[in-house]
Chains A and B, each alone.
Chain A
Amino acid sequence: MSSWDDDESAAVSAAEAATTDVELLRRAWRNEKAAPEILRFDTPLVSRVREQIQLLEETLDDFADTGVDDLVVSLYQMDLDRTLFLLRSYLRLRLQKIEKYTMHISRSDDLLSRLSPQERRFARSCAEIMEKHLEQSVLSKLPYGYDSVTRQSLSSTEDDMVPEPQLDTFVFCKTKSDVGAFQLDDIGEEVVDLVADDLYVLRYKSIKGLVEGGRIDLI
């Protein structure tokens, strides 16, 4: 087992592990899964992983021609299967998040900028499709003044009908290294000392910055 009880070598092996793109993708996948909102798409990482997948697929084809041992082939095949699952699951997860908050995302430039170009197109058409559906099933049958998809009525002063993720929900997170005293609320009443390898349940909103900066992992 990796030396879980030995801080020094744990740190070394963590640093080693962080160098593989699969490890980075797995982290992105976990964070994405646990975060209530959509996170930034790591275009370079995904394209690097896709290159490696393609390379391995080619290698496996070569293996078939050159008659490499079945055992070796099967092991590489499993490596490929695992990477493909992770990539597919990650992309799928993001699509499902986009589906869920489609109207919210398609209305915010900040959120749209976190998506890949393909996801942006997907988000836009999802929003269109959803709005059309709500329009023809519900809104077109409601009286004038109450038929907006984003506002409850004409007297609403802002969009108050757009489902959005709850950023103050609680998430489980694990610190990678010492963060130090960290303020959880706006007024500084709640401060926690985040040391390496701590496991906390905190409000997502308060640690959002740490997640984005890669200093804390959601689990």
Chain B
Amino acid sequence: MYGRRASQLLKEIDSSEAGQLAPFNSDIFDQVIRECNEHNSQFQSLIRKIVEQNLNIETTRNEDHYGAAIHHLSLLRNKRCLMAYMYNRAEVIQSFRWKVGPVLPHDIQEKLHFSEKEYFKNHSAAIKSYISEMDIDLTVDMVPPKDPYIQVRVLEDIGEVSLGDHSVSLTKNSLHFLRRTDAEQFISQVFYLFLCDILLSLLAIFSGNNTMLNLL
């Protein structure tokens, strides 16, 4: 049946999970392109036949006319499927810029048509130039922010430490609110020192939830 192969491409899009990409199906894709060209040559030869019989192409309603119409419509359908296939894939591919970043990992690269690779590159460049024109990074803060601070209690004297633009004195048993990122840096450092067998200090990290303590 005409148009069946092309619809397989769309079924593939439909059955893949949202935001996921199946490998480019060049097998079916090429077959559909071939079908298109066959439809066209059939269409052309039927039209030629009508013309050669000196019939009016506008008004003739014989079997050749309907045959030509079927080939034309099948070609249109194939074209729509091919375009929808590429377009839907392109939408997933452009979403990778936001989800994955400007460089695609190998396993995604492998699934792309050569033109899709180029598309991703050009599209990323367009986003990049928008971002630099606006002077605001849009690739961070993808989810709403939560309180970035956590409460820490210092178990052993650490002393004066510099956290970004200011310094904090981490004395034993003192309580502080530190940015989670700052504190994490610290823990790993402490952990590192610990590994080096220099027992210095430990930070106790609570999730910042005082009520938790009250309950316990």
Contacts and interface: CB of A to CB of B under 8 A. Distances in A.
Given A99-B123, A143-B36, A152-B79, 15 more contacts: A70-B177, A78-B145, A81-B148, A85-B141, A99-B91, A118-B134, A119-B130, A125-B122, A126-B123, A129-B126, A132-B119, A138-B33, A138-B86, A153-B76, A161-B83
B37 A129 contact: no
A14 B87 CA distance: 43
B82 interface: yes
A91 interface: yes
B138 interface: yes
Contact of A64 (B79, B136, B165): B165
A142 B177 contact: no
16 contacts: A61-B165, A74-B148, A77-B148, A81-B145, A84-B141, A88-B138, A88-B140, A100-B91, A122-B129, A132-B119, A133-B119, A137-B116, A138-B82, A153-B76, A155-B72, A161-B83
Contact of A137 (B115, B134, B138): B115
Interface residues of A, number: 46
Interface string A55-90: 000000100100100110010011001101101110
Contacts of A153: 72, 75-76, 79
For the residues of A in contact with B, the DSSP-based class is: helix
A125 B36 contact: no
A95 interface: yes
Nearest to B33: A141
B33 A85 contact: no
Interface string A156-167: 000001010000
A155 B80 CA distance: 15
B40 interface: yes
A107 interface: no
B209 to A, nearest CB: 16
B21 to A, nearest CB: 15
Contacts of A92: 98, 138
Given A78-B147, A91-B134, A126-B126, A146 B86 contact: no
B133 interface: yes
B115 A136 contact: yes
Interface in B57-105: 72, 75-76, 79-80, 82-83, 86-87, 90-91, 94, 98
A74 B150 CA distance: 10
A74 B36 contact: no
Nearest to B77: A152
Contacts of B123: 99, 126, 129
B113 interface: yes
Interface in A103-162: 118-119, 121-122, 125-126, 129-130, 132-134, 136-138, 141-143, 145-146, 152-153, 155, 161
A57 to B, nearest CB: 12
Contacts of B72: 153, 155
Which of A71, A100, A136, A137 has the largest number of chain B CB atoms within 10 A?
A137
